[in-house]
Structure 1
Amino acid sequence: MTEDHLDIKTPEYVAIQFQIAGLGSRAAAFIIDQALLMIINILAIVILFFVMDGMETSPFFLTESTFPIAVVVIGLFVLNWGYFFFFEFFSGGRTLGKRMVGIRVIQENGHSITLLSSFIRNLVRLIDSLPTAYFLGIIMIFFHPKHKRLGDLVAGTIVVHERKAKKKKKLTPIEKEINLRGLTENDLELDDWTLKSFTAKDWKLVSTYASRFHQLPVEERNQLTKQIADLLLTKKGIEVAGKTDTDLENTLLVLYLVLKDEWEFEL
């Protein structure tokens, strides 16, 4: 089955794409959540057993022996139902299982799940679990084009994969140097005719200069800077006279930025 996607347009007309979570990822998250709840349920029953065992030897509690049972039963019901409701609303649509798998519940319009939607979604969970083992919910998720169970349809929600933040591209040494000097493309004004007059050979010369910038001793770098400046900048009508070595370096580095946009992906 191919990956399904949901495209949402914000009021600012910005398109956001989500990958819809399928049956496999949702089942994995549900199994994790149920395993956690099962552990808590077993611990509660074990504690109840010891409490009841102690109460049998105490005449004071003989008339109220069913009270702890009622408390545990009600508590476990609230826990097992409220777990999903609480985490999905207060934890950004993610239970512990969903967080581990990397999925979350959101509104169909892309907004975070609301209190009412979370309540309705998890109330209908009781129907999705019929007749047993979430059979109805599994069938709905498998056949629905957006992998929705009945609770999602009623509440207007959808389960999607977390949108991973794009990793920032690691800066090269020359890019770090350019940033350190505070240089931008706007520092060198070139008209269209001058920009188009630079050839692939010129770009290769500038890019080679930039790649070797940190490898050369200062004295050799200053000589190379003057040679390239005389060869390229003067020919293009860019003022060179009276500029210091640092000024010429800055001009060539900015030229590198400008030509990079023009030539890097064309060669």
Structure 2
Amino acid sequence: MLDHGLENREYVKLPEGVDIAITPAGVVSRSYAYIIDFLFRSLIMFVVSLVFSFLGDAGQGIILIIYFITSWGYNIFFEMKNGQTPGKKRLKIRVVQDNGLPASFSQIVVRNLLRPADMLPIGYFLGLVVMMFNSRFKRIGDWAAGTMVIYDDEVEARPELPKGNIEIPVLSLSTEEQLAVLAFAERSDELSDARRSELAAILAEPFKLEDNEAQSMLIGYARFYSGQLSNSNEQAHSETVQ
């Protein structure tokens, strides 16, 4: 996530009550993706022109039809499958709904049919202006369709937590606060004693923990947030059945 800047990350709550992290793709990455897709479309039209240019007027008609289909259908065709054109796939970005879920076919169509509005007066000028004045970098087509473009982040395995007891938190924390507790526990062995105590005092403040128990309790909470409690329950249940 550090590759994209922590200040750009957002957490979206799904109807199921689950929080997911998304990072809106900026102007630079989307511009590079557009250039790659433009080169792909240009290559397609170059090959088509070579094949049909010898057919006279009929060939010219076929070339114009294919140009129309390529211009309007290229993005729709690729994005309706997984939200990625070849350019977006190369830059590891994809089109999704505003809530982070996969975009529907109708949303993909709307965002692409409004590309001419983003291109006004020339060279995507209006679209770029609109993108630069909102935190999610949404162009006009994205606003109309309820979509956005995000980084297609790879899920990295989290470091193993120190061994010990599992503690159930007495307070409900936000997703960001839970991640902070997890990060502290995962890095606790790498930190100096002074730094570990300093961070533990900050994180333990909502729990009203004493300094001498803050570190061990936070690591216990981290085990709970990481799902070790459910794993332990499943293991205990399995042993009971056996």
TM-score for the superposition, normalised by structure 1: 0.56
Tell whether 2:139 aligns with 1:145.
Answer: no
2:25 is matched by which residue type in structure 1? A
Note if 1:72 corresponds to 2:76: no
SS at 1:17's partner residue?
strand
> Paired residues, what number?
166
Matched, 1:30 2:20: no
CA RMSD of the aligned region, Å?
2.9
Superposed, 1:70-109 pairs within 5 Å as: 70-90=61-81, 92-109=82-99
Residue aligning to 2:46? 42
Q: Can you list the C-alpha shifts for 1:166-224, whole angstroms capped at 9, x where unaligned? A: 136589xxx9xxxxxxxx989xxxxxxxxxxxxxxxxxxxxxxxxxxxxxxxxxxxxxx
Counterpart of 1:35, as a letter, is: L
Q: Which residue of 2 aligns with 1:135?
A: 125
In structure 2, runs of 5+ residues without a counterpart are 167-218, 221-242
Q: Identity of aligned pairs, percent?
A: 33
- Among candidates 4, 8, 14, match of residue 10 of structure 1: 14
Structure 1 unmatched runs, 5+: 53-64, 176-183, 187-260, 263-267
Q: Which has the larger radius of gyration?
A: 1
| Mapped partners of 1:83, 1:28: distance in 2 | 17
Distance 2:126 2:133 in 1: 11
Q: Does the 8 A contact of 2:34 with 2:87 survive in 1?
A: yes
3-state DSSP class of the match of 2:95?
Answer: strand
CA distance in 2, matches of 1:144, 1:10: 22
What's the secondary structure of 2:12's corresponding residue? Answer: strand
| Correspondences of 1:166-185 after superposition (within 5 Å) | 166-167=156-157, 169=159
Q: What secondary structure does 1:7 align onto? A: strand
Distance 1:170 1:152 in 2: 40
The list of structure 1 runs, each at least 4 consecutive aligned residues, that deviate by more than 4 angstroms after superposition, is 168-171
1:217 aligns with none
